[in-house]
Structure 1
């Protein structure tokens, strides 16, 4: 962020800091909104979202290799159901691109070794996304990275594995519908009513999983000491809601007003996919920016100077660089 750094220990506000955002006065919330908009621009969030999009793309097609390679275990119907649910959210051109790649992989076939290799590549590529989000989170909080390599690497891999597990759970929830849900309901002794209720209840459950993924990123990625795991935060809610609105709005725009195919020809679907990922990452980073400004507002309420940075307390303080003293008034990205 752009304000000057405060001298002394970072993030050490007075003892009277509000413990929750709900304890902030209404005027403080208005200040949070204004600063979020300003810092969104000054922190180059659009550029960070582009970097995250790059790393996200690296993990997409290796993940498709794993999906198709495992189709013999989970069944072709499960993959088709997943693709149909993706089509309900993503723009049509994105859906067409993914279905085309899945079809190519099905025709080319795959072996167990291919599946294992694709899984390893996908995990490592996804960990690159986590590493980029760590840097973006530090930039948003204007805090230096002080965690050593032996802490950051397990963090990257651990978060990636958690993401894979939660995404797999999401895939199971999406495919657990229709005839499959009816058969499972009968086997478990549930009636037709319970199966019908689940067909609607699965979407809130999916939103809870997405929210958990976002909150996990917000909590673990930045080098910021948190009072505890925030099961829900205003920024997380904002990010999820904004992502839903942006995805649906962009799908409508592409279907009715977009001219990507005319402009980019055969690359139109790829461009639509990249723009969608970019918008999605901006929504996630905007939520992180909002939470960061809420933390600043709580520090201000406890007496921390409004323009002094960093205002967050690091998990691991960075070693001071003699060539760049912390109190020289120069703002640096974390």
Structure 2
């Protein structure tokens, strides 16, 4: 018997309609508990309006709904482990992205670019660029103080002046030179070191704070840690980053002459300097990898599966950084017209563009890491299509803010129901 279709393209065969209705019915029955929890009923109550993470809050607090999904998943997993099936689940769960199938890799890469645009990473990178620029001079003060403390203040000043001369025009250099000389002429390395580090910690920690908010956007989680927990954490991360920057500066400024002198001592001569010039770049890449890994692991309000010195996202970020830097230099050298457009400010504009691209690349690596985690969970059978099922570090502050917001919403509803007579939700429910 042939099957005919109606004008709207739906099959008219009764068996086909039954199968379709059966699939839809099964799909509705498999709805996540979050969809039913707190759903409107024939007799809603005031308490329903104040439930954080329910369908009532889904419109303007989607991250709280996702947190409730993570809580439901954690509870179901604990129940499964207590029932005796947890060992099988742990054995099936993928431990590394290297075990992902080709199809999962393709999906993760495709979704990385989709989420990169969906999360507005271009705007996030612009904000990070602003905080990076604010952190440059305080970080330079701390760096010069550290180098002066070990007797390399003059070498650092010459290196900074030489680097700046290669980035900006001569007219701009006349304005930049006094600033660098003033920064590098701090009297008393001990006092300058203390003041510089404290100022740099306070200023540069704002960049870490902004990066934390960007990472929360990437993983779609609300910040629930209190400021008493966040600020000390950001200071520690910033201090660690400053130490890594100081190590890089030592490699660039100090180690060359030291390597040459050691080579002359052991009889290698210029060979030691040649070896060092080739070896310092892998070490610099390692320092960059550790810095990115630290930001990826510690800043988001989610418990990562584990700290990795070099994650897949960090590796992608480093490779793209190198390629992007080479591409920007090639474009400016051969095709750019910044000098004709901006004149003396061309070097500054180029520097800002380069920082912006670097922040874009770091956020792209974070998106790639998050989507690989999603792919690992999906291939393991975890429902992570919409929410990456990683436990949050702390949600107490976010829940308090969300409850206060829901109270405001309830007051607004009271105004609507009573036509402006009262904003007391309890009074409106009694009417």
TM over 0.5: yes
CA contact (8 A) 2:139 2:242 kept: no
Q: Does 1:316 align with 2:391?
A: no
- 1:329 alignment counterpart: none
What is the distance in 2 between the residues matched to 1:137 and 1:275? 22
Q: Does 1:104 align with 2:104?
A: no
- 2:292 alignment counterpart: 214
Residue 102 of structure 1, CA deviation: 4.5
Which of 77, 84, 99 is matched with 1:23 structurally?
99
CA contact (8 A) 2:152 2:254 kept: no
Residue 262 of structure 1, CA deviation: 2.7
- 2:248 alignment counterpart: 170
- Number of aligned positions between the proteins: 320
- 1:331 alignment counterpart: none
What is the distance in 2 between the residues matched to 1:41 and 1:106? 42
CA contact (8 A) 1:147 1:315 kept: yes
CA contact (8 A) 1:138 1:145 kept: yes
Q: Which runs of 4+ in 1 moved over 6 A?
A: 94-99
Which of 29, 32, 36 is matched with 2:108 structurally?
32
Q: TM-score, normalised by structure 2?
A: 0.66
Q: Secondary structure at the match of 1:7?
A: helix
Deviations 1:229-276 (Å, cap 9, x if unpaired)? 111211000001111111121122122222223333333322222111
Q: Does 1:47 align with 2:123?
A: yes
Residue 95 of structure 1, CA deviation: 11
What is the distance in 2 between the residues matched to 1:167 and 1:31? 36
Gapped runs of 5+ residues in structure 1? 326-334
RMSD over aligned Cα atoms: 3.1
Alignment of 1:2-21 (within 5 A): 5=66, 7=69, 9=71, 12=74, 15=90, 16-21=92-97
Gapped runs of 5+ residues in structure 2? 1-61, 78-88, 408-431
Which of 204, 213, 217 is matched with 1:126 structurally?
204
What is the distance in 2 between the residues matched to 1:59 and 1:313? 32
Residue 37 of structure 1, CA deviation: 0.4
Q: TM-score, normalised by structure 1?
A: 0.84
Q: Which stretch has the larger CA shift, 178-187 or 23-32?
A: 178-187
Deviations 1:288-309 (Å, cap 9, x if unpaired)? 1000001111111122234322
What is the distance in 2 between the residues matched to 1:102 and 1:70? 20
What is the distance in 1 between the residues matched to 2:250 and 2:105? 39
